[in-house]
């Protein structure tokens, strides 16, 4: 049973295209996150949602739009893809998102390559 | 913005050697976590430390939280090839928001 799943695992696309990445968690968690990991392996938070509400929105271009249809799903839509968007995108979830000792459970990542 | 710097960035050692990885910040954190990420996968939590000066052991891994809760170290005794991976520290503030360090890539050669 996969706790946090993402699709697709690989995504190769042309500059200027619009694409979506989907994430689902079956852990019953209230909070979900999107992270971007660049080529230097730096993991930076982009968004977090708690019970379908946006909680964290870091300095991310508005070409990136997260959508949470329910608390088990958090999708990421990217408009007008740019070369610099190439990275690995990780979805994660945690129980409440507010406890300092909480574990974040990460998905396997989506490797996005923009040509 | 709370920044976490890890050192070294890259470490390549022989099986059986000991090593220490450091995670430093000028900010105080409510808790600090260490994750390991293997190639092609997402990070997996190893440990959470909460109290200043706290030491936790996980088999051959020893984690310490600094007294001032601004830094942490991870010590591995008798490293094995299975320890190879990217080690990430993450500090959480009072609201539970985590900031990740820039990572240490460890390679243990057989």
SS3 A55: strand
Is B48 in contact with B30 (CB distance < 8 Å)? no
**Arithmetic mean of pLDDT over chain A:** 92
Question: Average pLDDT for residues B3-10, to the nearest whole number?
Answer: 94
Write down the pLDDT at residue B100: 93
Cβ-defined contact of A56 to B97 (cutoff 8 Å): yes
For chain B, say whether A63 makes contact (Cβ under 8 Å): no
pLDDT at B1 > cutoff 60: no
Write down the pLDDT at residue A96: 81
Separation of alpha carbons A65 and A53, rounded Å: 13
A3-56: pLDDT as tens digits? 999 999 999 999 999 999 999 999 999 999 999 999 888 899 999 998 888 888
- Give the angle subtended at the CA of A29 by the CAs of B38 and A113, to the nearest 5°: 40
Select from A43, A107, A109 the Cβ nearest to the Cβ of B88: A43
Cβ-defined contact of B96 to A44 (cutoff 8 Å): no
| Confidence category of residue A92, pLDDT binned at 50, 70, 90 | very high
Question: Average pLDDT for residues B31-42, to the nearest whole number?
Answer: 94
Q: Which residues of A touch B37 (CB under 8 A)?
A: 41
Write down the pLDDT at residue B65: 96
Question: Average pLDDT for residues B19-35, to the nearest whole number?
Answer: 95
Nearest C-alpha neighbor of B19 from the set B66, B80, B69: B80
For chain B, say whether A57 makes contact (Cβ under 8 Å): no
| Confidence category of residue B61, pLDDT binned at 50, 70, 90 | very high
pLDDT at B54 > cutoff 60: yes
Q: Which residues of B touch A102 (CB under 8 A)?
A: 92, 96
A46-80: pLDDT as tens digits? 999 988 888 888 878 999 999 999 999 999 999 99
Cβ-defined contact of B92 to A100 (cutoff 8 Å): yes
- Give the angle subtended at the CA of B32 by the CAs of A104 and B37, to the nearest 5°: 50
| Confidence category of residue B2, pLDDT binned at 50, 70, 90 | low
Separation of alpha carbons A49 and A5, rounded Å: 16
**Arithmetic mean of pLDDT over chain B:** 94
- The residue of chain A nearest to residue B4, with distances taken between CA atoms, is A42
> DSSP code of B69?
S
B62-101: pLDDT as tens digits? 999 999 999 999 999 999 999 999 999 999 888 778 899 9
- Contact partners, residue B34, CB within 8 Å, separation at least 6: B23, B45, B46, B47, B63, B72, B74, B87, B88, B89, B90
Write down the pLDDT at residue A32: 94
pLDDT at A1 > cutoff 80: no
């Amino acid at each position: 049973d996969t706790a946090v799943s993402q699709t697709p695992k690989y995504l190769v696309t042309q500059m200027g295209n619009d694409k979506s990445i989907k994430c689902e968690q079956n852990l019953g968690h209230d909070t979900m996150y999107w992270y971007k990991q660049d080529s230097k392996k730096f993991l930076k938070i982009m968004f977090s949602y708690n019970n379908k509400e946006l909680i964290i929105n870091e300095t991310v271009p508005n070409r990136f739009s997260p959508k949470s249809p329910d608390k088990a799903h958090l999708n990421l839509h990217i408009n007008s893809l740019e070369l610099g968007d190439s990275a690995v995108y990780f979805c994660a979830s945690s129980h409440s998102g507010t406890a300092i000792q909480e574990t974040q459970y990460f998905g396997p990542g989506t490797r996005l390559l923009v040509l | 913005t709370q920044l976490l710097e890890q050192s070294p960035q890259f470490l390549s050692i022989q099986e059986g050697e000991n090593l220490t990885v450091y995670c430093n910040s000028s900010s105080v954190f409510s808790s600090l976590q260490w994750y390991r990420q293997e190639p092609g996968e997402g990070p997996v939590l190893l440990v959470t430390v909460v109290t200043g000066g706290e030491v936790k052991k996980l088999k051959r891994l020893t984690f310490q939280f600094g007294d001032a809760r601004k830094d942490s170290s991870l010590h591995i005794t008798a490293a094995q090839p299975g320890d190879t991976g990217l080690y990430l520290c993450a500090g959480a503030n009072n609201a539970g928001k985590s900031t990740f360090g820039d990572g240490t890539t460890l390679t243990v050669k057989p």
